[in-house]
Amino acid sequence: MHHCLTRLLYILLLVTATPPAFCQQSIDRTQLMEYLQNQQYESAISYLQPRVADNNVSQLSLLGYTYYLSGRTKDAVTQYEKVLQLDSNNIPAHQYLATICLQMDAPQLAIPHYLEIIRLQPTNATAYKQLSFAGFAAQQQDSAFAWLQKAWLLNPADPKVTARLGEEWIAKEQYALADSILRAFLQKDSTQASVVMTAVRSAWFLKDYLRCTALGTQLMDMKVISPNTFSIVAAAWYTLKKYQPCINVYEYMQANRAQSENIMYYAALSYTALKNYEASNELLSACIDMATSKSLDSYYGGKSANYEGLHQYKAAVANLDTAFYLFHKPVRQYGIGRIYDVQLKNKPQAIIHYKRFMKTADRRDPQDAEIYKYLQSYVEK
């Protein structure tokens, strides 16, 4: 907020320092600043509109910025485009148009604006960073990586740039190179969680498990919650045969309600190593529950319906059978019976599945109750 007010004050000074056009109402800096400080953006817009001259870059910028603050991005774009028509080298206009493009999930439209800023300011590290992130979002991987490297060369103290460059080197399997830039950063500033988390990954790929666990402990002290990162830390503790610290990672994540299947699995293996088989089985059961999503039942049901539509009845039955095996919903037995009955004309086999449904159906459930009532008389015939 302080940055916004500082920028507003700067623009206001420019605006009020510019002589008003003939018959143009002047802008009262105090009045406008009061609107903006109180976040009365619509009032500020109504105040500005009759006072902004179409040939005044500063005033158009101020109106565009006020539109931007109010969330009226389409109107902000219109004003900033007017600014660029008058002054194509206006850096704030390029900056805000690029920002708006990113907010509208159109990173490819932001890239030309960032390129213009860099043309005007070739050593602007922040512009290179923003350009590279826009490039990655636009799937321009090679160009984005080159821009990211330039951003890092201009400002290696930027944690977001260092962490992202480390990730990119890891993705290219250049683990030692990634680790070198991450170590250099952390020697000067060990408080940036994004860099520490990336360093956990580079250490893992370098098989430096002691460093992995040390960085993991540091992240726990920082109260960082990252299931992906702590999955690696748990694996490192287990690889080192340090079973209780591995379990401690699981307990830390559980206490922070950020559990993951991998962390739980390594904790289960650690309990087994410590001969606490009951605790291990409890966690392994939870892993199984996490691995078999309840949505799978619907997915198998959907595939069965598709196979039935394709007249591939064995495949349709197989999918319903798998769904029943995993989730034990009685309605799947009815579905199998119906395919045997209606499609395959095999009533004896259908009756077997109908009876299985009737044996396990929950008659408190309206759907099960209705099917049960129908089958009761049908099966008896």
Q: pLDDT 10s per residue in the chain (381 long)?
A: 445 555 555 555 455 545 444 445 688 888 888 988 899 999 999 999 988 889 999 999 999 999 999 999 999 999 999 999 999 999 999 999 999 999 999 999 999 999 999 999 999 999 999 999 999 999 999 999 999 999 999 999 999 999 999 999 999 999 999 999 999 999 999 999 999 999 999 999 999 999 999 999 999 999 999 999 999 999 999 999 999 999 999 999 999 998 889 999 999 999 999 999 999 999 998 888 887 777 888 989 999 999 999 999 999 999 999 999 888 999 999 999 999 999 999 999 999 999 999 999 998 999 999 999 999 888 876
The whole-model pTM stands at 0.76
Same fold? 225-291, 296-380? yes
Q: Does domain 225-291 sit in CATH 1.10.8? A: no
Q: Which residues contact 35 (CB under 8 A, 6 or more apart)?
A: 41, 43, 44, 47
Q: Which of 297, 246, 295 is nearest to 272 (CA)?
A: 246
Q: What gap in Å lies between CA 201 and CA 146, rounded to an integer?
A: 22
What would the CATH number be for the domain defined by 296-380?
A: 1.25.40.10
**Domain edges within the chain:** 156-207, 225-291, 296-380
Q: What is the DSSP string of 218-237?
A: HHHHTT---HHHHHHHHHHH
Using DSSP, state whether 168 is helix, strand or coil: helix
Q: Tokens 């009685």 map to which residue?
A: 330
pLDDT in the model for residue 22:
43
Contacts of 363-372 with CB under 8 Å at 24 or more apart are 367/331, 368/330, 368/331, 371/331, 371/334
Q: CA gyration radius for the chain?
A: 32
Angle between the N-to-C axes of helices 193-205 and 159-171, in degrees from 0 to 180, rounded to the nearest 10: 20
Using DSSP, state whether 380 is helix, strand or coil: helix
For residues 374 and 368, is the Cβ–Cβ distance under 8 A? no
pLDDT in the model for residue 160:
97
Please state, in angstroms and as integers, the Cα–Cα distance from residue 141 to each residue in 132, 144, 148, 155, 236, following that order. Answer: 9, 5, 10, 21, 31
Dihedral angle sign, alpha carbons of residues 188, 189, 190, 196: negative
Dihedral angle sign, alpha carbons of residues 275, 280, 282, 288: negative
Classify residue 161 as exposed, middle or buried by CB count within 10 Å of its CB (0-12, 13-18, 19+): buried
Q: What gap in Å lies between CA 319 and CA 325, rounded to an integer?
A: 10
